[in-house]
């Protein structure tokens, strides 16, 4: 029987972190997809299928090129792969992406996709887990916000994603598949000649230029998969993104920060949001495990840190909570000596939240203090608020809609068009 002190400790941990509901397992009878695999995993699959070891590297390279560079969705497209091998590949594998269960487009051009993954657990039956992925177009870049977990490990009080249960981690392939799906949706593969503004009238070039791990989940609680996914995304013979254009955001899982820098070599973003431990304990309960001093020490030691590879500190502006002049001055003091950029994020409201966004003049004053101290302090323009695609809003509206749809179905009301995409 657990002692009262042990029960209290477990309750305290539960208020900080959630355990996953499901663990992935192999499902018999399902052909695995080759999309999103690392080079080593792809080669292992081909060897397991019967490709001789002496040929495996070459054959894996051919498949890799078609999947990750050309975006092939059918083995028949692989013109330099022999007919017999293509038939064998089709017998054992697929090139499936996640199903796009719904599409929404904001007034500002932001796109949000609800992606349904293939089932990975018997408890999911024939319906895989769902995540949301957001594309944010800009004049000189296109940013894809990807998820690393189904739900979130953490319980940040200002974030609606954090109020949801943690279903499971995403695999590296499932993380990469979000980029592949986005390129499918946007026509962003070689030969398709997309326009940078996604409207057809801008300069021709890749639409997805940047990746941010700022969707659902805490990436550093799924670090193995994140490291592998960054490797696939940045492979210059495949998806071809620069690691300097891939940013991984964390709420402060301090022990994993050095490994992220050493193995992923990605840009680092920190969800800070407070300058005092007592307040950050409330906003980001993980702070009770890894307080601000420990977090900033890990930042100062981040591998590759320099003026050219600054850390981004994210700071959500909460009215009357963390937005005073004193907070701004303390933020500058805390970050002294760290090559940094500070993103000020107007709070994105969600139903039931007890917080409000700071007034605009207060945000400008806060930004001015930080800027005058020598730090870039851009105010992040809220994007996709009308489709709940902005920071801290992911999955919330989807869960509400799904609950309503289930209720309609139970009451015998037709829901055939309930999830129709917003492109119509």
Distance CA 52, CA 58 (A): 11
- What 3-state class would DSSP assign to 212? strand
Kindly state the tokens that stand for 376.
Answer: 């870039």
Is 357 annotated to bind a ligand? Reply is no
Strands 168-169 and 210-213 come out as: unpaired
Whole-number Å distance between alpha carbons of 241 and 322: 36
> Is 132 a catalytic site residue?
yes
As a whole number of angstroms, the distance between CA 71 and CA 33 comes to: 13
Torsion of CA 364, 369, 371, 377, to 10 degrees: -50
| Short-list 281, 212, 295, 209, CA closest to 252 | 295
Q: Is beta strand 99-105 parallel, antiparallel or unpaired with respect to 111-116?
A: antiparallel
210 is in an annotated binding site: no
d(CA 163, CA 15) in angstroms, rounded, equals: 11
Question: Is 156 marked as a binding-site residue?
Answer: yes
Distance CA 266, CA 244 (A): 6
Query: Is the dihedral angle over the CA atoms 115, 106, 68, 141 positive or is it negative?
Result: negative
157 is in an annotated binding site: no
Residue 273 among known ligand-binding residues: yes
E strand or H helix at 111, and its extent?
strand 111-116
- Would you say 299 is a known binding-site residue? no
242: annotated binding-site residue?
no
125 labeled binding residue: no
Q: Is residue 82 part of an annotated ligand binding site? A: no
133 catalytic residue (yes or no)? no
Which one from 130, 132, 174, 314 is the annotated catalytic residue? 132
Annotated active-site residue in 133, 145, 299, 391: 391
**252 annotated among ligand-binding-site residues:** no
Binding site residue list for [4Fe-4S] cluster: 152, 156, 159
Binding site residue list: 152, 156, 159, 217-218, 249, 271-273, 348
Catalytic residues: 132, 391
Binding site residue list for S-adenosyl-L-methionine: 217-218, 249, 271-273, 348
């Amino acid at each position: 029987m657990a002692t009262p002190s042990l029960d209290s400790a477990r309750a305290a941990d539960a208020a900080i972190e959630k355990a996953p509901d499901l663990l992935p397992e192999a499902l018999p009878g399902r052909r695995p997809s080759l999309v999103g695999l690392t080079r080593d995993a792809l080669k292992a699959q081909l060897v397991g299928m019967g490709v001789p070891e002496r040929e495996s590297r070459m054959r894996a390279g051919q498949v890799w090129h078609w999947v990750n560079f050309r975006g092939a969705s059918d083995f028949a497209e692989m013109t330099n792969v022999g007919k017999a091998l293509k038939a064998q590949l089709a017998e054992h594998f697929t090139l499936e992406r996640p199903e796009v269960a719904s599409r929404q487009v904001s007034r500002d051009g932001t796109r949000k996709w609800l992606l349904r993954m293939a089932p990975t657990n018997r408890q999911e039956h024939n319906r895989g887990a769902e995540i949301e992925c957001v594309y944010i177009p800009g004049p000189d870049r296109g940013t894809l916000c990807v998820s690393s977990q189904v739900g979130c490990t953490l319980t940040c009080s200002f974030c609606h994603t954090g109020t949801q249960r943690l279903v499971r981690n995403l695999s590296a392939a499932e993380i990469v598949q979000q980029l592949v799906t986005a390129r499918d949706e946007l026509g962003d593969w070689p030969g398709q000649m997309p326009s940078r503004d996604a409207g057809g009238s801008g300069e021709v070039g890749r639409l997805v230029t940047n990746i941010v791990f700022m969707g659902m989940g805490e990436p550093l609680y799924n670090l193995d998969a994140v490291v592998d996914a960054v490797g696939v995304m940045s492979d210059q013979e495949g998806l071809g993104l620069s690691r300097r254009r891939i940013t991984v955001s964390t709420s402060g899982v301090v022990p994993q920060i050095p490994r992220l820098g050493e193995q992923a070599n990605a840009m680092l973003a920190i969800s800070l949001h407070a300058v005092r431990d007592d307040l950050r304990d409330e906003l980001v309960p993980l702070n009770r495990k890894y307080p601000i001093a420990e977090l900033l020490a890990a930042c100062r030691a981040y591998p590759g840190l320099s003026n050219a590879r600054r850390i981004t500190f994210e700071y959500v502006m909460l009215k009357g909570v963390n937005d005073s002049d004193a907070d701004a001055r303390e933020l500058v003091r805390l970050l002294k000596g760290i090559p940094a950029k500070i993103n000020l994020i107007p709070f994105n409201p969600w139903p039931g939240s007890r917080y409000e966004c700071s007034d605009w003049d207060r945000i400008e004053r806060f930004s001015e203090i930080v800027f005058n101290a020598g730090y870039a302090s851009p105010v992040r323009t809220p994007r996709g608020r009308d489709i709940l695609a902005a920071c801290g809003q992911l999955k919330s509206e989807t869960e509400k809609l799904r609950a309503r749809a289930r209720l309609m179905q139970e009451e015998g009301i037709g829901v055939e068009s309930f999830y129709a995409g917003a492109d119509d």
